[in-house]
Structures are given as structure tokens and as C-alpha cells.
Amino acid sequence: MSNLLPEFYALDRHVEHNYVCLMAQLQRIDTQLQTRIRQLQQESDSAQDEWACNQKDTPPEELQSRLAPPPPALLDEEVAHGRLGQLVQRFGLTSLERDVLLLALLPHVNMSYLDWFAQAQGNSNMNHPTVQLVLDVLCPSRLEQVQHMASLLPDGALVRQGLLQLSHGSNNSSQVNSNTMIRADKRIYHYLIGHDYLPILLRQSCRWVTASHHLATTMASSLAQLKKNLVPGACLVLKGLPDSGRAVLVAAAAQVLGMPVLEWDLAKLMGNDRVPPSLVTAIFCEVQLYAGCLILKHLPEQAEKRPELSVLLSLQADNYAQPVIILQGLSSPMYWLGDIPHRVLQLPARDLYQDRALLAQCLADIPLDDDVDLTSLAQRFPAVVSKIEPILQEAELYRRQRYPVGALSQADLHQAFRWRSQQNFGDLALRIEPKRSFDDLIVSAALQQHLAELRAAILHREHVLALGFGDKRHYGVGISALFYGASGTGKTMAAEVLADALRVDLIKVDLSTAVNKYIGETEKNLARIFDMAALDSGVLFFDEADALFGKRSEVKEAKDRHANIEVAYLLQRMEAHTGLVILSTNNRSHLDQAFSRRFTFILKFDYPDHATRVRLWQAIWPAQASLDDNINVEQLASMAELTGANISNIALAAAWLAVSEGAPRIGMSHIQHALKRELAKTGQLAR
């Protein structure tokens, strides 16, 4: 997205009018400045008289177009209808504060003012107007100077709101005195003449948000709520799923009210360095310039890492006249910003039908193949539907790669959606692209049926909830499954084939890295996992969950109580998660009855029976492998009670033995030898 202010937000594109109006105002200030300098000359000693011969008698060329000052009434009318009038109104400036700002802007109009200020103040280092010079020029009497000195202090509107900066030069003191210089950022000058852009300082972490007409149409009720809650001088805490389109929806509501929206993503701040006060001031100043809304993203998390943030933001918010919106997760604790009033609003999550309608609107003018299934896309990738525009552009690139001309296919759209939804889990989880399907999963008929029921629940979840079951349950509408059984019985493979059936990735969580001995750290890791999983389309798989389940016990010590809290938190997030969550364990005895009832499905993975082992022995050999004709799978299935993982190990070891002997085929002797080695691992004997 462009860093420029969106075109329809530009409040005045008449650059020429703004420029002429500003020049007239600066010419007025220049006249006052010259008049005061002449007065000072008359009062100066001989040394100052020597300088008087060199001082300028005419204003810079840029100001000469308005040598004859216009009547005050006309001047005020021009100001009221130009950028300068808007700035004065939005920042609540007095006429004196306006003139102070104009005086500080003179060096940006013509750099010769830098030399002139230095000469006028008798110090080459003072090339910007000092506090004393400003007061001398704009406040003729000593009483006025005393009265208006407060306007140039750090708490004055000009400095506090970022329109002016105070410079103490070589003086290390931070106290404002008569020699303190005032400076105006060139950004203010550019704004006043009608040039709109996002300052470089802000581009790393800020962006102007463009409203989405399609999303606003789909979520009309949420849009109406937002319009009522975008109140100037108040903070709106907007709870919801991360990256669910809240900022875009706020922009749509603000657009109706004539306000642009600037989003500050605090997670994009570099490292853990302290946030400079100048950055916070510049952001609030930028939004105030355009009478917009400010969205703070990832504020609670960053405020915890950077304690100074809370202080800086509170100081700005308490004197800020525009709406502030804080985006928070559903489970995040409340964050209070200063002493301004807060309103909490939780937008309802989009359902399947809203997402499908949104996709249909965005794809209305795009040629589609007959195989495109919008319902399937909306069901699999709800979290990224709000990013539909770049996704469609990427889908078009996949289509061109496939065929130069033609319509978008389901495969093009699915590929673009899938890549866009992938989150970076770091060392907390491993992303696995499924390679095996239900045809490769060999389990008992009963377990196969149970897995088919789990798959059906996933595919038809939204439809069933829409019938009213969602309102009846209120919570726990996610689908979760517990796979339990001995190692090697197919739990991980079953999770993989379920992900393949849904055409998404398997996100395999390593609980050994998530569980932490320090209090509260495990919950933080689990929160990170579920927050990212909410944006990811993949199946969340907690393998070997005994690392956490094994801690659930009767409370005898403080650490036992905390271990149970960790498990309770996992269950809470698991029930709230809208995608599929699978946990596997080798021993169900660690789970009490209260724990077990929280799962939607519990599937037992037994050792395969004789008939299943026969199928496993038949299916384990790749098509390229050469086998002796005397291999009897019935006999192999009867020799030992093996899991699918055991049989896979035996087949691979037998192939190595055959190659090492130079045998043209894998024989029964190779398999029997490998089988004995495999059984020896567990202390078993072949029958």
C-alpha cells in the first residue's frame, strides 16, 4: 500500500491557492520582522550600526509577489479557507501562536533567512529565531511578552503538538530561556502549500489505511457500530481476531465521517530500543494535520516490552482531539490510555456466508473456471479474506504461470490463499506440507469411520452453527480431537491426512519448546501459537502432549497449581480456536474426566489387528522395489504384533540388507532378519 495520503482524503489539492495564501501571510510576518529589526537598529550601539549597513531592505523574492499587504478582512478569509486556517482550527492555535509558527517557517521559504537571523541576533550559531526575537517581533510591549511567553514553553500548544521544536544550541540546559531557538519542521511547510506525503520518520511503522467498499458492504452492522463510536477525544478499544480486517473497516467508517485513518503498527519498531518522544509526537501531529483517526496496533504487547510507551502515549492522548483506536485480541487484558474516556467494542467475527459474499463481490468482474468453489475457499481461509486484493493479484500470477490466457481456477486461488495465510511460528512449531492422503492411511475400519466423522464435522461446522447451535453453546464451538495410543500406531499420519483432506498444512507444535519452567512463560508461548494459528489456515497439531498433560495432578505444591493453570489455559484457547486442533498422547491415563469432556472427538489408535497388518505389509513396498515371489504377507502379519511404524522400519532395513548382499531382490530372509532387529528394540520375540 502506498505511503501517500489516499487521494480522496486530500482536503485541499489547490496547491497554487495554498501557496499564494501562505506567501501573503509570510509577507505580513516579514514586514513585522523588518519593522522590529529597524527599531532595534535605532536603539543599538555603534557595533550594531556597522551591521545595519549590510542588512536587507527588501523581503526575499518569494514574498515580493505580495508586497502590498491585502486588507485584513481579505487575509482572514483566505486563511479560513486554506490549509493554514485548517491547521489553526485543528490544533486550536491563537493568532499569536499562528504567527510564531509562520515566523519559524521563514527559513524553509528562503534559506537566506538563516544568515539574516544569525546577523540580527549577533551570533552565527543562532540562525533560527530565538524566543526573545519572536517575542520582540510579535509582542511589542514587555507586558505582552510576559503574557505570551507560555506559548513557547514545552507545554504550549505549538511544542506539545509537534508543530515547533525547541533548540538550545550549544547550551546543554533543557530549560527554555531567551536564547532558546525555535524551529519548524519542513513537513509543516509542505502541508501548508498542499503537498501530502508520509514523513520518512513514520514510514517504517505507519501507513494510511484504505477503506474496503466490499468489506464495508458485507459487514454493514459492524460499520454502523463503528461510526457511532468514532468520537473525538475518546479512545475506542476494538477487540477481535488479529488481521481480521478491523483497520480496513475503521477506515470505511471514518471515510463516511470525512476522516482519514493512520495505523501505527508498534510491532514494526526496531528491536527493543526505547521509543523516542519525537516519534510519538510526530505521529499524533500527522493525524491532527488531517483531522484523522489514529489506530494503535500491537500496543499492549509492545507497552509491556517498552514501559516508556505508556507514558509517552498517555501524555499525547490527554491533549489529543481526534479519535484513538486500540486494536486488541479477544483474550488480551484491557489497556488504558491516559485519562481520556474509553469505550470497548467487540466486533462479531465474520461467518462463512459473509466471507463467501465478500469473495463473490471481489471476484464479480474476474473470469473464473467452473471448478471455483467460493464456499470452500471461505471455509478454509477465513482469516485472510480481508486481504483479498493482493491475493487476487497473486492468483493471477499463478494463472499466467500455468497458462498465458484464460480464467482463474480453484487451484490458482487456493495456492494464493494458502501462501498468504502462512504464519512464522519460529521454533515453536514445524510446518509440514502433507504428502499422504486417506488412501495411504491403513487403520481399522472403525477408526477409519471415526476419522471420516471428524472430517465431516470440520467441513460442515459453519453450516451447523448457523442453524442455531452456535447461539446455544456460546463457547466451545471449535473442533478439537484427542488421538491416543501407543507410539507408531498412526496418530501423526492421521493428522497429516486430515490436513491433506482440507488441503492445508499441518502445524506440528513442539511442546518441549513451548513448556517453560518459569511462571507465566508457558501461557505466553501458547498464546503466541494460538494467535498465529488464528491467522493460519493449517491444522494445529500438538504432538506428544504428555509434556503438558503429565503435569495435571492434585494440588500439593504451588508448582502443581501453576501446572494445572497451564493446562486450563490450553483448553480455553483450544475451545475458542475456530480451526481444527489435534492433540496426541501415548497415555490417556493422564487425562481426568473433566479434561476429556472438553474434546469434540477422542480417537483411540490401537495396535493393528492381523487383517490390518496384512494390508500394511502389502502397502509398504514401493513400486520400484523388487520382491521375491516367496514372500508371504500372511505369514509376516502373524509373526509379531507390529505397528505401521515398525513395519516401515523393517521394510527399509530389509532393502538395505538386500543391497549390501548384492541380491537382485528383497527376500524373506532379509525381512525376517530385519524383523528380529526391530523386535529386539522393544525386547520382543518373533512368533
- Residue 7's pLDDT band, with cuts at 50, 70 and 90, is very low
The answer to whether position 111 is within a domain reads yes
Residues 285 and 158 in one domain: no
Question: Is pLDDT of 470 > 60?
Answer: no
How far apart (Å, rounded) are the C-alpha atoms in residues 439 and 147?
86
The answer to whether position 429 is within a domain reads no
Residues 25 and 168 in one domain: yes
Where residue 497 sits, what CATH number does that domain have?
Answer: 3.40.50.300
DSSP assignment of 383-407 = GGGGGHHHHHHHHHHHHHHH-SSS-
Residue 122: left if φ>0, alpha if ψ -120 to 50, beta else—which one?
Answer: left
The grid cell for 169 is 544550541
What Rg value do the Cα atoms of the chain yield, rounded?
A: 35
Q: What's the pLDDT score for residue 629? A: 83
The lowest-confidence range among 50-54, 383-387, 418-422 is: 50-54
Residue carrying the nine cell digits 487476487? 392
> Across the chain, what does the average pLDDT equal?
82
Tens-place pLDDT, residues 478-534: 788 999 988 888 999 999 999 998 888 999 987 777 777 666 778 888 888 888 888
Residues 599 and 462 in one domain: yes
The answer to whether position 32 is within a domain reads yes
- Most confident segment among 38-47, 144-153, 210-219: 144-153
Contacts of 515 (CB under 8 A, 6+ apart): 522, 525, 547, 548, 566
The grid cell for 232 is 473525538
Question: Is pLDDT of 198 > 50?
Answer: yes
Percent of the chain with pLDDT over 70: 84
629 φ, ψ (degrees, to nearest 5):
-70, -20
Question: Is pLDDT of 330 > 90?
Answer: no
The grid cell for 109 is 521559504
The answer to whether position 430 is within a domain reads no
Question: Quick one: how far is CA 101 from the chain centroid?
Answer: 36
The answer to whether position 431 is within a domain reads no
The grid cell for 560 is 502443581
Q: What's the pLDDT score for residue 598? A: 81
Residues 586 and 442 in one domain: yes
Given a contact cutoff of 8 angstroms between Cβ atoms, the answer to whether 280 and 316 are in contact is yes
Residues 618 and 642 in one domain: yes
Among candidate residues 167, 192, 217, the one where a domain is terminated: 192
Tens-place pLDDT, residues 374-402: 888 888 887 777 778 889 999 999 999 98
For the chain, how many structural domains are there in total?
5
How far apart (Å, rounded) are the C-alpha atoms in residues 311 and 309?
5
Tens-place pLDDT, residues 71-108: 444 445 555 668 999 999 999 999 999 999 999 999 99
Mean local confidence (pLDDT), 582-587: 86
Tens-place pLDDT, residues 118-140: 888 888 888 899 999 999 889 87
Angle separating helix axes 83-91 and 15-43, nearest 10 degrees: 70
- Residue 141's pLDDT band, with cuts at 50, 70 and 90, is confident
Tens-place pLDDT, residues 213-250: 888 888 888 888 999 999 888 899 998 877 778 898 99
Higher pLDDT among residues 261 and 521, named by residue = 261
The answer to whether position 687 is within a domain reads no
Q: What's the pLDDT score for residue 78? A: 52
- Residue 47's pLDDT band, with cuts at 50, 70 and 90, is very low
Where residue 386 sits, what CATH number does that domain have?
Answer: 1.10.8.60
Tens-place pLDDT, residues 622-654: 888 888 888 888 888 888 888 888 999 999 999
Residues 397 and 280 in one domain: no
Where residue 299 sits, what CATH number does that domain have?
Answer: 3.40.50
Residues 171 and 29 in one domain: yes
Which CA distances in Å does 500 have to 430, 432, 538? 16, 10, 10
Sign of the CA dihedral with 81 first, then 86, 92, and 98 last? negative
Residues 181 and 35 in one domain: yes
How far apart (Å, rounded) are the C-alpha atoms in residues 293 and 282?
14
The answer to whether position 406 is within a domain reads yes
Q: What's the pLDDT score for residue 63? A: 53
Which uninterrupted H or E stretch holds 585? Answer: strand 580-585
Among candidate residues 158, 176, 192, the one where a domain is terminated: 192
Among candidate residues 163, 192, 221, the one where a domain is terminated: 192
Percent of the chain with pLDDT over 90: 27
Residues 360 and 306 in one domain: no
Higher pLDDT among residues 526 and 568, named by residue = 526
Higher pLDDT among residues 502 and 59, named by residue = 502
How far apart (Å, rounded) are the C-alpha atoms in residues 12 and 15?
8
Question: Is pLDDT of 678 > 70?
Answer: yes
Q: What's the pLDDT score for residue 468? A: 62
- Residue 471's pLDDT band, with cuts at 50, 70 and 90, is low
Q: What's the pLDDT score for residue 173? A: 53
Question: Is pLDDT of 6 > 60?
Answer: no
How far apart (Å, rounded) are the C-alpha atoms in residues 289 and 484?
60
Question: Is pLDDT of 439 > 70?
Answer: yes
How far apart (Å, rounded) are the C-alpha atoms in residues 659 and 625?
11
How far apart (Å, rounded) are the C-alpha atoms in residues 353 and 374?
10
Residues 379 and 465 in one domain: no
The answer to whether position 428 is within a domain reads no
> Could you tell me the residue range of the domain that residue 657 belongs to?
610-682
Residues 575 and 626 in one domain: no
Residues 282 and 154 in one domain: no
Q: What's the pLDDT score for residue 169? A: 63
The lowest-confidence range among 141-150, 315-324, 419-428, 455-464 is: 455-464
